[in-house]
Amino acid sequence: SRRSEVTKSKTICLSLAFITIFLHLFLALVSLSTYHQPCDHSLPPKTTFVRDLARTNHTAVGIRDVAEPPAGNAKKDPEGHPSVWPPLDAKRAESLESDLSKLEALFDHPLYNVPSPPVPEDDWLLKVKPKIEASEMSSQIWVSSRQDGYEDIQWNRSTDSHPPWLRFHLGISRWQLYPHHDPNMEALTQQLAMHRIVSAGLTSTAQAQSFTQKQERDDETNYNLYYFSDFERHNAEIAAFHLDRILGYRRVPPVVGRLVDVVKEIKDVTTDRKLARTFFNSPVGNVCFYGQCSYYCSTEHAVCGRPRNLEASLAVMLPDLSLATRRSWRSPWRRSYSRSKLAKWETEADYCSTVKKTSPYNKGTRLVDFMDMVILDFLMSNMDRHHYETFEKFNNNTFLLHLDNGRSFGRHSKDEPSILAPLEQCCRIRLSTWLRLQLLSSPQYRLSDVMRASLSHDPLHRVAPLLSEPHLTALDRRLKTVLETVSRCQKHQSKDGGGDEVIFDDLARLKDIFTPAG
């Protein structure tokens, strides 16, 4: 009897176990058949970037979804891969469309389309010269116009015969890196964003220079950190290019953002042994590297993918120094780069009068060119402008290159008035800049709106906006400060009978067709 009861109990237990296993398998199959992507709204905002990276895979031709291609007429990249980016919500799309209309109207304004005479041959940085071979067949090579001993030739700037980066080099002139309506810009930026990376190194003569992501876009610089200890930001380099273009300068080389596969596009293609030795896997499985440099190059300050995808900015390289020599100039308003000492301009009230008497600031446009750079730096809060460069071929009569902007946009909640010291002390600004600043302060062309629109063209915008809204708001606030500074200069000079000396008139032809507001 007892043995019969035990046998019966075992039978019941086994039956229950089989039923339980069956039910689990059935539920699992049901779950798989109805599987779909998890709801995005359940994720906090801070995880959005990680989520997007987790769903994408970067290839040599761009970013594509690792899932099966969606049905229907999905938008595809040039290689035929479906776009990974989700559509914008209706409200955001409508706002962006309005901003894009403002940007288009801004670039169509007469202030951005001033008629100019043809560029003289001596005002091109580079020229193309025929090289006669032994067979008397000619081939085109591009050389520095500083080279001696070659004959005058017909320059070839064909948009069909050269790659985009070479067209960019051949389009550099005495007063700008590229023209306002540059037909080559779209092809050039697409090349930076999409083409295969064939090599990577700590030093290189490649066609692009890269800055990688080291912190989140909305992270502000620690207030206890000195400006010379701040990180360089990849999105700052991108934003500086767009802001420089919006201001009408065109003195920052084109910069584009892209997602880079740390393994396939850096580690596997580098021939730099020093760089190769710095790769490692983090405790959570992300691929990291730190390179070799004077500071911030250690495992504690490594750059890491998520797990392999890394945001980066790629800037077009300027022509090689053997072709176009550049001269480095120490900024007269250079900071002391000391934790205890002040620079002369911080202690001498009449410092600018000394600068105005010193070459090259005592003639030509160098002083107002410098003020253009000061305004750019103040708008993006760049305190690290210790030097600037020019192309040596043009001597002192040329534009200033606005390079190395990675320490910009570190803080949005605080403005740095000391950056404007040159403008306050010298009270000098070119008319074209003054009029464009007034234009950008109006609701019709508000700086923050056109900047938002311009940045939306960058590939990384759909991962996350290149500048957060607080940074865009700071641009409007700082622009107002610049305008108020110039207005104070005009009032002060008018009391002394010299108000007209504040404005350097470079737009006499536009006086009759444009009158500044207010």
300 assigned ligand-binding residue: no
Ramachandran area for residue 277 (φ above 0: left; ψ -120 to 50: alpha; else beta): alpha
Query: Vertex 53, ends 211 and 78: CA angle to 5°?
Result: 80
Q: Which positions ≥6 away from 228 have C-beta within 8 Å?
A: 335, 337, 384
Identified catalytic residue from 384, 449, 476, 512? 384
Alpha-carbon gap, residue 25 to 479, rounded angstroms: 65
314 assigned ligand-binding residue: no
Tokens 């053997």 -> residue: 322
- Give catalytic status of residue 384 as yes or no: yes
Q: Which positions ≥6 away from 243 have C-beta within 8 Å?
A: 376, 379, 380, 451, 475
373 assigned ligand-binding residue: no
Alpha-carbon gap, residue 264 to 304, rounded angstroms: 14
Question: Would you tell me the crossing angle of helices 366-379 and 431-440 to the nearest 10 degrees?
Answer: 20
437 assigned ligand-binding residue: no
216 assigned ligand-binding residue: no
Dihedral pair phi/psi, residue 144, rounded to 5°: -75, 135
For the CA atoms of 64, 68, 73, 78, what is the dihedral angle to 10 degrees?
30
For the CA atoms of 195, 198, 204, 210, what is the dihedral angle to 10 degrees?
40
Q: Please provide the distance, in angstroms rounded to a whole number, between the alpha carbons at the two ends of the chain.
A: 108
232 assigned ligand-binding residue: yes
Alpha-carbon gap, residue 155 to 123, rounded angstroms: 13
| HSE toward the beta carbon, residue 73, CA cutoff 13 A | 0
Q: Three-state DSSP class for 312?
A: strand
Q: Provide the residue type at 155 as one letter.
A: W
Is 213 in contact with 303 (CB distance < 8 Å)?
yes
Alpha-carbon separation of residue 114 from 183, 288, 295, 371, 444 (angstroms): 17, 48, 45, 21, 20
Q: Residue positions in the annotated binding site for ATP?
A: 232, 315-318, 389, 404
Residues of each annotated binding site: 232, 315-318, 389, 404
For the annotated catalytic residues, the residue numbers are: 384
